Chain A
Amino acid sequence: MEINLSIKAKSLKGLIETVKKNISLRSIVIISIVLSIISTTYFFFNDQIVTYGDAESHLNIAKRVVHSITPGVAQIGGIWLPLPHMMLVPFVYFDFLWRTGLAGSIVSGVSFIVSSVFLYRITYFLTKDKVISFVSFIIFASNPNILYLQSTPMTELVLIMFFLLSTYYFIRFIYNSENIIYLIIAAFFGFCASLSRYDGWFLVLFEAMAIVVLYIGKKKFWREMEGKLFLFSTLAFLGVLLWILWDYLILGDPFYFTNSQFSAKTQQQNWYIRGELPSYHNIFSALYYYFVTSLSNSGFLIFLTSIVGLIIFLKDHFKEQKIYLVLLILFVPFIFNVATLFLGQSVIFIPHITPNTFEWTLFNVRYGVMMIPVVTILFSYLLTRRSVTTYFVLALIFVLQFMLYFVGYSDVITLADGTRGLSKAERHDAEYWLKDNYDDGLVLIDDYARTVSIVRTKIPMQNIIYIGNRKYWEESFNQPEKYATWIVMQRDDAVWQGIYGKPHIQSRLFKYFNKVYTSPDILIFRKIRTT
């Protein structure tokens, strides 16, 4: 009992050649555009574009640059780095794109497409093989965590784009150190990365270190290295300097981004006091946390296979000094995240290893997506072992990984964090009430407390008074009625403490305002109408 089939060797070869021929940057752009549109559409119709609290904050920061009671570049603030918000500005100008979050989808989507192209180019540069590079792109572009984040206003995809752009040109420079154009372009994109997320600061630092290492042992070490290092650093570190200068000029403290009450460091201190900062000054915990977070973002099987890829990669290039520099740059996200966890500058909670006794077991897991590019490169590198068994096993792993997602074994962890983790934007009943009852006038609100979602209400951004509208904000704490028609406060937020918590201001509040909404934690006041 058997079936016999016959295929002409020529036509099979022809098919393979056709596939190879069609692998081009154009095909990558087309596929990534299609994937981007499909996933954004899917998440849009599932109302999951703005699930993260931070996602709305990014949209609002950009919106205030163009539409605010005090519009202008100063609205960019001094904690989050400015470039992703500046990129959002042209799109959030349109209310529809701002309120739906699609402004962010456009920016992240474009970043996704550029990232796909440059991931392909990096892999091609390292392997000189179109198919391997294409596989690397496919693994990256089909990763559900990447597809989700590229649909949202979160800043990870922007960073990945600049990280890959800078890395690509820096690798080109490593292998052709006479061509300083590569170095300048790498520095420029490093500059962009350093203005996107703080991970970028590590990137330029490690690239600078790699320049030094590249020339170690050479006869004219200092002479050759000096010029390149200064050329690179002048541009690459400019972003860091500008940001420090910005914080000094606008907010009065050059290190406002780390010293302010709104900084990540301050937030981590709260966790520390509660005994829920497991990686603080514990290097093994920091390594373990980021390892597991990277694994969960990359896909369980894909990640484990990429470890085999790393071993093979190192074995193949054992004697090449330059390859270690390439790996060092590709692994910068790992070094950065482990370092920040260790120093208590960031925190990750992931249900795989976070104790159940913690209040939250899911938070900030999206930091792991930064490892996806290097994981995909190392996974696809295994294809350099040109055997049918290898192709077959890798294809099987890829399919099995999707099955793990499909049967619910693995979560799309970034989406899970946005929908049920601590990163989720809380949606209080007050928000629905305000959406139905807000008519007109200025609204005084502590935006940092995220009492209500502004994008989900009908309030125009020009009608919001928050801490960034300094004059309006400060005066309202003495004379609440001066500007605001509405006052929204949540227990212990700045508005609550500044108005409701001070008896003499509270009496003034009740003189001019009616309490129109009450819940155990949220109060909404409306100015008494005068006829």
Chain B
Amino acid sequence: MKRLIAILFLVVVSTILYGLTIRGFEGNPFSDKINRNLSESPGPFESSHERAPYALTYSLVENGSFALNKELADFASPDTVIKDDTFYIIFPPGISLLAMPFYNIGKAYSAAQLITFAGMTLFALFNLVLVYTISKHVFSIPTNLSLFSALIFGFATTSWSFASSLYQHHTTTFFVLTSFLAAWLYKTRLRTKWIWASWIWFSLGISVWLDYPSVILFAPIIFFMTLSSLKLKKVGDNFKIKIILIPLITSVIFISLAAFHGYYNHVNFGGWKNLAQLEPRYDTKLLNETTDEKKLDEIAKAEKTKSIEGVATENQFFRGFYILTIAPDKGVFFFSPILLLAVLGIVQSFKVIKKKLLELITFSSIFFINIFFYSSWGDPWGGWAYGPRYLIPSMAVLSIFTVIWLWINRHNIIVRIIASVLFIYSAAIATLGAVTTTITPPKVEADFLKLKYGFFNNWEVFINGKSGSFFYNKFLDNYVDLTQFYSIILIFISVYGLLLLFIKTSSRKDGN
């Protein structure tokens, strides 16, 4: 009962915090007349990464079409492509499809944008519960520390900035975490293997619709399931090998979803493996600013010969690894130094939690693959975004390894003090992003444009008293200033975190 209350408390607190920082405004964009520049920053549509999926959601609901009309294409630009004089968004349509029911609900209450974004917050909330559950049940970490891992992921990392938005990262993280949990249940439960295997394949199939690169994050999970399907036993003079065929049979779910996506590509882009990303981009800003016909021809030619070859290469790894780990504009450990403890957690967990070796290898592999792939990616920065948004699934993984390390060193008070300091610092940076803006230039662009980069940019927005928060702008602006709003949130998170951290930690149930 106590545990249930604790989880409920976490969910309620998190809902409030996400609610306080959700970005948006009232009204139904495109259907109603909105007296503001939709793309202004800070705001819900400051990034084309949010405008494009929203435009598609609108198009799907209102026009019943994956193609965008000119107005929506201009709105979503430059994340739009053009194929046979028809406009599409550059991303897979998964997020927009998932957002449709929320859009419909919101539209009925004249809050289409707000409710659509809030719908995505559901996945962020699920992720907090999943982080807790994996920590508690898979790795048998005590309740207080498991709750602390959820708090780290939710409010001491930059995942917060993307929790109430149309970015795909929280949904991807949701499917990765549920799949890991399902793979563990597949291994440990005898009667329900069908369900768990089906869910893993379903998640993989859905991920194809959400974000192509995220598919590789499932590799260790599929591997885990496959290994759990093989049993080797020595009986007398023979080795008996048992191969469970459930993963093979249920893979039809993934094949169906992937095939359906292929059909989507075929209908819209002329071939099952023709992706929207490979079609020429429709960039209104570029078109308006470039007057040189010759240059436009060159751009058009380059756009027509795009290929996925070389999107990730070894040559780019070292630069990308630096950017994603410690760089001041994007580094995950620069924005959330609490996660540094997770590195120690990974190393120590292999020595201490020997009974869960396969689970540890699988779970840490999600992080390794995530960072390996995006370090090798041509654009490791993820454009103008607050923190390393591509590493949001890793932030969930690292949050758990952080508390594993805290549990291993639970008798050392210094460890907790260090963790407290790092947690508060990380939460301060995460809160700064959540209350201001998600579009922050990477250093390489900021230097060129003579802007500030990373959270230094957000600090400037903060000092100027600008917030993207709907709740603050609508209800609190006249009563408290942004500093007070920010301080209240940060103090609340810090107190909650410290309470969880300093409660006496019980022993893990299963020993090592």
Chain A residues engaging chain B, CB cutoff 8 angstroms: 1-10, 12, 292, 296, 300, 351-353, 389, 393, 404, 408-411
- Whether B314 and A300, one on each chain, are in contact in the complex, defined by CB atoms closer than 8 angstroms, is yes
Overall SS of chain A's interface = mixed
- Whether A300 and B241, one on each chain, are in contact in the complex, defined by CB atoms closer than 8 angstroms, is no
A352 CA to B314 CA in the complex, in Å? 7
Contacting residues, chain B, for A2 (C-beta < 8 A): 242-245
- Whether A408 and B238, one on each chain, are in contact in the complex, defined by CB atoms closer than 8 angstroms, is no
A59 CA to B438 CA in the complex, in Å? 60
Closest Cβ neighbor of A362 among chain B residues: B315
- Whether A409 and B314, one on each chain, are in contact in the complex, defined by CB atoms closer than 8 angstroms, is yes
Given contacts A1-B246, A2-B244, A409-B376, is CB(A7)–CB(B239) below 8 Å? Answer: yes
Closest Cβ neighbor of A7 among chain B residues: B239
Given contacts A1-B245, A2-B245, A3-B245, is CB(A410)–CB(B239) below 8 Å? Answer: no
Given contacts A1-B245, A409-B376, is CB(A9)–CB(B313) below 8 Å? Answer: no
Closest Cβ neighbor of B246 among chain A residues: A1
A143 CA to B427 CA in the complex, in Å? 47
Contacting residues, chain A, for B244 (C-beta < 8 A): 1-2
A48 CA to B234 CA in the complex, in Å? 52
Cβ of B240 under 8 Å from chain A: yes
Contacting residues, chain B, for A4 (C-beta < 8 A): 240-243
- Whether A9 and B314, one on each chain, are in contact in the complex, defined by CB atoms closer than 8 angstroms, is no
- Whether B240 and A5, one on each chain, are in contact in the complex, defined by CB atoms closer than 8 angstroms, is yes
A356 CA to B316 CA in the complex, in Å? 12
- Whether A6 and B318, one on each chain, are in contact in the complex, defined by CB atoms closer than 8 angstroms, is no
A389 CA to B350 CA in the complex, in Å? 13
Given contacts A411-B314, A411-B315, is CB(A9)–CB(B237) below 8 Å? Answer: yes
A10 CA to B234 CA in the complex, in Å? 12
A393 CA to B368 CA in the complex, in Å? 14
Cβ of B249 under 8 Å from chain A: yes
A410 CA to B316 CA in the complex, in Å? 10
A411 CA to B316 CA in the complex, in Å? 12
- Whether B312 and A3, one on each chain, are in contact in the complex, defined by CB atoms closer than 8 angstroms, is no
Q: Report the minimum CB–CB distance from A267 to chain B (whole Å).
A: 24
A300 CA to B368 CA in the complex, in Å? 14
A292 CA to B245 CA in the complex, in Å? 43
Given contacts A4-B240, A7-B238, A9-B234, is CB(A352)–CB(B315) below 8 Å? Answer: yes
Flag B274-310 by CB within 8 Å of A: 1 or 0 each.
0000000000000000000000000000000000011
A5 CA to B376 CA in the complex, in Å? 42
Known: A5-B242, A409-B314. 4 other contacts (CB 8 A): A4-B243, A12-B239, A300-B314, A411-B314
- Whether A351 and B315, one on each chain, are in contact in the complex, defined by CB atoms closer than 8 angstroms, is yes
Cβ of B357 under 8 Å from chain A: yes
- Whether A1 and B314, one on each chain, are in contact in the complex, defined by CB atoms closer than 8 angstroms, is no
Closest Cβ neighbor of B313 among chain A residues: A409
- Whether A404 and B314, one on each chain, are in contact in the complex, defined by CB atoms closer than 8 angstroms, is yes
A4 CA to B233 CA in the complex, in Å? 11
Q: Report the minimum CB–CB distance from A16 to chain B (whole Å).
A: 12
Given contacts A296-B314, A411-B314, is CB(A1)–CB(B249) below 8 Å? Answer: yes
- Whether B313 and A389, one on each chain, are in contact in the complex, defined by CB atoms closer than 8 angstroms, is no
Q: Report the minimum CB–CB distance from A445 to chain B (whole Å).
A: 36
A-B contact pairs, 11 of them (CB 8 A): A2-B243, A3-B243, A5-B243, A6-B238, A7-B238, A300-B314, A352-B317, A352-B318, A353-B318, A409-B376, A411-B315
Tell me the chain B residues, 52-82 only, with Cβ under 8 Å from chain A.
none
Q: Report the minimum CB–CB distance from B211 to chain A (whole Å).
A: 19
- Whether B317 and A9, one on each chain, are in contact in the complex, defined by CB atoms closer than 8 angstroms, is no
Tell me the chain B residues, 225-269 only, with Cβ under 8 Å from chain A.
234, 237-246, 249
A300 CA to B238 CA in the complex, in Å? 40
- Whether B241 and A6, one on each chain, are in contact in the complex, defined by CB atoms closer than 8 angstroms, is yes
Q: Report the minimum CB–CB distance from A291 to chain B (whole Å).
A: 10
Contacting residues, chain B, for A8 (C-beta < 8 A): 237-239
Q: Which 7 A-B pairs have the closest CB atoms?
A: A5-B241, A1-B245, A351-B315, A410-B314, A3-B243, A7-B239, A6-B238
Q: Report the minimum CB–CB distance from B397 to chain A (whole Å).
A: 19
Contacting residues, chain B, for A409 (C-beta < 8 A): 312-314, 376
Contacting residues, chain A, for B318 (C-beta < 8 A): 292, 352-353
Contacting residues, chain A, for B357 (C-beta < 8 A): 389
Q: Report the minimum CB–CB distance from B194 to chain A (whole Å).
A: 9
Which residue, of B237, B238, B315, has the highest number of chain A Cβ atoms within 10 A?
Answer: B315
A408 CA to B309 CA in the complex, in Å? 8
Q: Report the minimum CB–CB distance from B42 to chain A (whole Å).
A: 33
A7 CA to B238 CA in the complex, in Å? 5
Given contacts A1-B249, A352-B317, A409-B313, is CB(A10)–CB(B241) below 8 Å? Answer: no
A4 CA to B230 CA in the complex, in Å? 10
Contacting residues, chain B, for A408 (C-beta < 8 A): 309-310, 313
A9 CA to B241 CA in the complex, in Å? 12
Closest Cβ neighbor of B249 among chain A residues: A1
A409 CA to B316 CA in the complex, in Å? 10
Which residue, of A393, A408, A409, A411, has the highest number of chain B Cβ atoms within 10 A?
Answer: A409
Q: Report the minimum CB–CB distance from A56 to chain B (whole Å).
A: 27
- Whether A6 and B239, one on each chain, are in contact in the complex, defined by CB atoms closer than 8 angstroms, is yes
A393 CA to B243 CA in the complex, in Å? 20
A341 CA to B243 CA in the complex, in Å? 55
- Whether A3 and B242, one on each chain, are in contact in the complex, defined by CB atoms closer than 8 angstroms, is yes
Contacting residues, chain B, for A300 (C-beta < 8 A): 314, 317
Contacting residues, chain B, for A9 (C-beta < 8 A): 234, 237-239
A351 CA to B376 CA in the complex, in Å? 13
Closest Cβ neighbor of A392 among chain B residues: B227
A408 CA to B313 CA in the complex, in Å? 7
A393 CA to B223 CA in the complex, in Å? 12
Contacting residues, chain B, for A351 (C-beta < 8 A): 315
Flag B413-457 by CB within 8 Å of A: 1 or 0 each.
000000000000000000000000000000000000000000000
A351 CA to B315 CA in the complex, in Å? 6
